[in-house]
Amino acid sequence: METYGRILLIAMPAFLLLVLFEKWYGWRKGFDTVRNMDMISSLSSGITNVTKDVLGLSIAIISYGWLVENLAIVSVPDGWITYVVAFLALDLAGYWTHRIAHEYNFFWNNHIIHHSSEEFNLACALRQSISSIVKLFTIFLLPAAILGVPEKVIAIIAPLHLFAQFWYHTRHIGKMGFLEKIIVTPSHHRVHHALNPEYLDKNYSQIFIWWDKLFGSFQEEREDIPPVYGITRPVQTWNPIRINFMHLWLLIKDAWHTANWRDKFRIWLAPTGWRPPDMEEKYPVHKISDPYHFEKYDPDSSPALQAWSWFQITACLLFISYLFGHIASIGMPAMFIYGLYVFLLVYAYTELMDKHSSAIVWETIKNILGLGTLYFYGDWFGASRYSSLVTPLLLLYFVVSTGIVAWFVYRHRSTGPVVV
C-alpha cells in the first residue's frame, strides 16, 4: 500500500497535467473535447479508485502467489524475458477480464463507470471502479503462474501495464499507420467507447490489438460512422460513487420484483443489459435508441458553481496527496477514517454539481467528521508538524464550506427545480 501510494504521488500530477494540456490543446485548435464538469467527475472517479486501492479495500479469492506456489511447472529465466512474459500474460488476462465485464450483467457493474462519460478524452481514462471489492479474475494469470513468473515481477509490471492504457483515450490522434496492426491506438479505443450499434462490445484489448483479431472482437473505426460516446442507458449524474453502484442496484430491484423465479437467478449472468420481460414492461428504463440524436447530460452550472467545484477537487487532491505520502505513519484504523472523509468529500461536491439538495446533508456529515477528527486527534493526522496553521485553516474550511454549500442549495432551490 505504501509503495503504491508513493508511485501515485508521481503519477497523479503527471496525469493531471496531461488532462489539462489536452483541454488547452483542444481549445487552441477549436476542437475542445473536455467539458469542465465532466472532467471534474472523471478526476473525482480516479480519486475514489486510487484511494480504495491504496487502502487495500479489495480481496482476491485466489492470490497470484498461491497459483505460482502450487501450479508452476517450469521457471522462466531470470532477466528481461521474465518481464516480457509477465507483460504478455497480463495483457491476455486483461483482454478476458475486460470482455467478461462487458458481456455479463453482474460484471458490467464493475466497469460501467469507465464508459459513463459522454465524452472521450484523457480524463475519462481515470474513471475506474470502486465497486470491484472481490477480485475474481486472478485465475486468468494462470499461464504466467504455470511458467513460474515470480509474484514480485507481476507486482512491478501490473501498474505499468495499467498506466500504459492512459494515452489512447483521446480524439486528437488519428490513425497511426502500421501501429494499428500491433497495438491499441486511439482509433481502436474510440470504437470501444462508442455506443453506436456497429461498435458496441468491440476492441477489448488493452495494449496489443491482436487479441481482438484472434478472438473475433475487432472492429475498425469507420469514416462513415463517427463514434458517439457513452452508454445506452445514460447515468445522468456527475457523482462517480452513484455511478459505480447504479447497475447493481437495478439488478437487485429487478431480481426482487420479477415474478419469474428463474429470472431472479438468471439475471446475474445474463448478457449485459438483459432484464426480465415483466420488469421491462412495468419499470422501463430510459435507453438511447438513436445515438445521433440524444441530449448529453449537462445541467446548467453557473461560473460560481464551476469555480467552487474546482476548488473542492483541488482540496481533495491535496488531502489524498497527504494520505498517500504518510499512510505508514497514519496507520490503522486512522487511514480508514481518512479514506471515509475523502469519499464523503467527493460525494458531497459531486452531488452539488448535480444540483441535488442532499448535497448540504453530505457536506455537513463530511465536515462534522473533519471537525471530529481534529478534536479527537488534536491534529489532522500529524500534519501540524509541517505548519501550525494547518489546524486553524482546516477549521475555517470545514465551517465556511458548509455555509457555501448551503448557499448554493438555497440558490438552486430558488431558481429552478432541484433533485432531492
Of the two residues 222 and 80, the one the predictor is more confident about is 222
Which residue is it, cell 470491484? 132
Q: What is the pLDDT of residue 1?
A: 57
How far apart, in whole angstroms, are the C-alpha atoms of residue 203 and residue 185?
A: 10
Q: What is the pLDDT of residue 10?
A: 87
Residue 49 lies in a domain: yes
Domain boundary (180, 215, 250) is at: 215
Give the pTM. Answer: 0.94
Buried b (16+ CB within 10 A) or exposed e, 406-417: eebbeebeeeee
Q: Dihedral angle at the C-alpha atoms of 251, 360, 52, 6, nearest 10 degrees?
A: 160
- How many structural domains compose the chain? 2
Residue 152 lies in a domain: yes
Domain boundary (178, 193, 215) is at: 215
170 and 319 inside one domain:
no
Residue 338 lies in a domain: yes
Q: Please say if the pLDDT value at position 5 is more than 80.
A: no
Give 383-414 pLDDT, tens digit per residue: 999 999 999 999 999 999 999 999 999 999 88
Residue 259 lies in a domain: no
Spatial neighbors of 376 by CB under 8 A, at least 6 apart, are none
201 and 309 inside one domain:
no
CA distances from 305 to 28, 239, 394 (A): 25, 15, 21
209 and 76 inside one domain:
yes
Residue 272 lies in a domain: no
How far apart, in whole angstroms, are the C-alpha atoms of residue 322 and residue 172?
A: 34
Q: What is the pLDDT of residue 261?
A: 95
Q: Write the DSSP symbol of residue 77.
A: P
Give 229-248 pLDDT, tens digit per residue: 999 999 999 999 999 999 99
Give 52-72 pLDDT, tens digit per residue: 999 987 777 678 888 998 888
Q: What is the pLDDT of residue 420?
A: 44
Reduced to 3 states, what is the DSSP secondary structure of residue 271? Answer: strand
Region for 177 from its dihedrals, namely left if φ exceeds 0, alpha if ψ lies in -120 to 50, beta otherwise: left
Confidence of residue 356 (pLDDT cuts 50, 70, 90): very high
CA distances from 135 to 62, 110, 273 (A): 8, 10, 22
Range of 20's domain? 2-215
193 and 309 inside one domain:
no
Which residue is it, cell 503519477? 11
Q: Write the DSSP symbol of residue 125.
A: G
What is the pLDDT averaged over residues 304-310? 97
Give 66-125 pLDDT, tens digit per residue: 899 888 888 887 788 999 999 999 999 999 999 999 999 999 999 999 999 999 999 999
Q: What is the pLDDT of residue 2?
A: 64
How far apart, in whole angstroms, are the C-alpha atoms of residue 69 and residue 162?
A: 25
Domain boundary (189, 215, 241) is at: 215
Residue 226 lies in a domain: no
How far apart, in whole angstroms, are the C-alpha atoms of residue 165 and residue 78?
A: 26
71 and 206 inside one domain:
yes
Among 62-66, 99-103, 305-309, 320-324, whose mean pLDDT is lowest? 62-66
CA distances from 355 to 4, 47, 161, 243, 244 (A): 35, 21, 37, 16, 19
Give 122-178 pLDDT, tens digit per residue: 999 999 999 887 777 788 999 999 999 999 999 899 999 999 999 999 999 999 999
50 and 191 inside one domain:
yes
